[in-house]
Structure 1
C-alpha cells in the first residue's frame, strides 16, 4: 500500500469518477484503475464497486479514504514544520470562488498591501452548491455558498471557515411600482415576470421558496446565472430579479434597487472550504485571515 494509491482512493471519494480523478491528477483513467487494483490487493474486502457505469467506494473504501485524509493531514503538519525551519514561504496559495465573490473580493485582497501574504493565484468556479467540496481537490481554498436550509458541508471531507451571511434581495427597477415599498412580500411579487438563475443556484432556491409561500408558480422569463447580466435585464425591462446584497452592489447601476423579502430570511452562507492538511501551512492561515478581514469590510460597507 502506497501513499499515492491512498490519495487516488480519496480523490475517487471526493470527485466521484475515475475520469475525474484522472483529470485532477494529470494521468490516464487506466493508470487510476491500475493503482486502485494494486491497492485492492492489500485488503480482503472490496474497496470499490460498480454503480451503473461508475466506480464508487464501498463502505470499507470510504473508511480507508477518510484514513487517507488523516494521513495527508499528519504529513502536511510535518512538512509545515520543516518548511518553517527553512523559511520557505514562496509557494503560491490557490484560491477558487464563485463569480460574484471573485468579482468582489479577489482584487481587494490582491491590493490589500499586506506584505506578509504569499503569492496568490485566483480562479473562478461557478458550480452548484453540492459541487463545491470537490473543488478542494484542486485548490487550496474554495469560497463557497450554501443556503441555510440545505445539508451542511461534508465534515469528513473538508474543514469549514465561515466568512459571512449574505441576504438575497429582490432587484427592482426604480421606476417599477413595487420600488416604493421598503420590503416586498411573496404575495406582492409572485405574479411579476422574473429573471433568475438556473436551478441549483441560490436565487432560484429563493424564488422557489417565494412561490411556495405564495401558493403560485413564478413566471420566469430569463434564466441567467451572471448577476451583472441579471441586473442589466432588470434595468431594461419590468422583470424582477433576485440578487445578493453585498456582492452585486457594483453591478446594479443607478436604476436598480434592492428590497428585502418580508417574512423570509432569504440569504446564503459564504464559507471557505479547505482540506484539513492545508491548515498546517502558515501561508494558508495568513490568507484565510486576510479573506476574513476583506469579507468583514465588504459587509460593513454595504449595511
Structure 2
C-alpha cells in the first residue's frame, strides 16, 4: 500500500468511475486499474465491486478511502516540513576541513556568514589521508579536501566544488643560502635535510617526485603534518619543507621559493554528496567558500621572490 494507491481509491469513491479518476489524475484507465489491483493484493477483504458497468467501493473500501484522507494530510504535512527544511536559510550546515584549509577558510566563512539570515555552522578539523576525504562526506555536509595535481580525481560518489589550485613552495629560513635564488630545482634541494608529512598524506607524493627528478634519496629528518609546526621547525634550522603558498600561515623568519621541474601544486576542493545541495543553506555555504577562496588567492603574492619572506 502506498500514497498513490490510496489516492486512487479515494478518488474512485468520490468520482464514481475509473474513467473519471483517470481524467482527474491525467493517466490512463488501465493505470488506475493497475493501482487498484496492487492495493487489493495487500488487503484481506474486497475493496471494490461491480454495480452494473460501474466499479464502486465496498464498505471496506469506503472505510479505507476515509482513512486515506488522513494519510494524504500526513504526507502533505511531511512534504511541507521537508520543503521548509530544504529552503531554510538559517539551517545548520556541518563543515570539516584539513588543518591548513581550516586555518585559512573557516575564520573567513564565519565572518562572511555571521548574523541573522545565514546558515548556522558547525565546524570540525579532519586531517586524513587523501583517499579518506570522500568518506567524510557521509558525516559532514561539506568537506574541504586536498589532492595533488597528478593524483586520481575524486570518486563519483561526491560532488566537487573547486576552490584553489595552490602552488607548493620550498620553505627555508630567511638566511638560508638558497633564499637568494628566485626559483629552485629538485637538484638545488636534493642534498638538504627535509621536513615532510607522514606517509599516505598528499604532499608526500611531491617529495617523492623531487627525489625522482634529482635521482637521489632525500634526507627526511622530521615527519610533521601541521604546517604551523613545520614553519617553526624550518625557522629553527630543522630543514627544508614544502608549504602551500596561500593557505599556510606566514612565518616572519621563513621564506618561500617556487619549485620547478616537478608538479608542485595541489587542488583544494569542497566535497559534498550531490543531494546535500538541495538545501539552500548548503548552497549558501558553498558560494561563500568560493568567495573566500578568491580572497585567499588575491591576498598573497603569487610568486615569492628573493629578499621577501612569506607574503601577507
- Normalised TM-score (structure 2): 0.68
Relative to structure 1, is the Cα distance of residues 120 and 146 closer, same or farther in structure 2, using a 3 angstrom cutoff?
same
Q: In structure 1, list runs of 5 or more residues that go unmatched.
A: 1-77
- Aligned partner of 2:261 among 254, 263, 267: 263
Q: Which residue of 1 aligns with 2:294?
A: 296
Q: Which residue of 2 aligns with 1:6?
A: none
- Normalised TM-score (structure 1): 0.70
Q: Which runs of 4+ in 1 moved over 3 A?
A: 78-82, 84-90, 113-116
- The question of 1:122 aligning with 2:123 is answered yes
Root mean square deviation, CA, Å? 2.0
Contact 1:194 1:239 in 2 (8 A): yes
Specify the SS of the correspondent of 1:187: helix
Q: Which residue of 2 aligns with 1:236?
A: 236
1:97-116 equivalence runs, <5 A: 97-112=97-112, 115=115, 116=117
Q: CA deviation digits over 1:28-67, x for unaligned, max 9? A: xxxxxxxxxxxxxxxxxxxxxxxxxxxxxxxxxxxxxxxx
Contact 1:173 1:238 in 2 (8 A): no
Relative to structure 1, is the Cα distance of residues 86 and 148 closer, same or farther in structure 2, using a 3 angstrom cutoff?
closer
Specify the SS of the correspondent of 1:178: helix
Q: Note the C-alpha offset of 1:199.
A: 1.5
Contact 2:206 2:262 in 1 (8 A): no
Q: Which residue of 2 aligns with 1:195?
A: 195
Cα distance between partner residues in 2 of 1:142 and 1:106 = 12
Cα distance between partner residues in 2 of 1:269 and 1:277 = 23
Figure out how many residues of one structure are paired with residues of the other and give that number.
Answer: 223
Q: Note the C-alpha offset of 1:91.
A: 2.6
Cα distance between partner residues in 1 of 2:238 and 2:85 = 62
Specify the SS of the correspondent of 1:208: helix
Q: Note the C-alpha offset of 1:264.
A: 2.5
Q: CA deviation digits over 1:93-114, x for unaligned, max 9? A: 0000100100111011111255
Q: Which residue of 1 aligns with 2:29?
A: none
Relative to structure 1, is the Cα distance of residues 227 and 110 closer, same or farther in structure 2, using a 3 angstrom cutoff?
same
Contact 2:149 2:263 in 1 (8 A): no
Q: Which residue of 2 aligns with 1:180?
A: 180
Q: Which has the greater radius of gyration?
A: 2
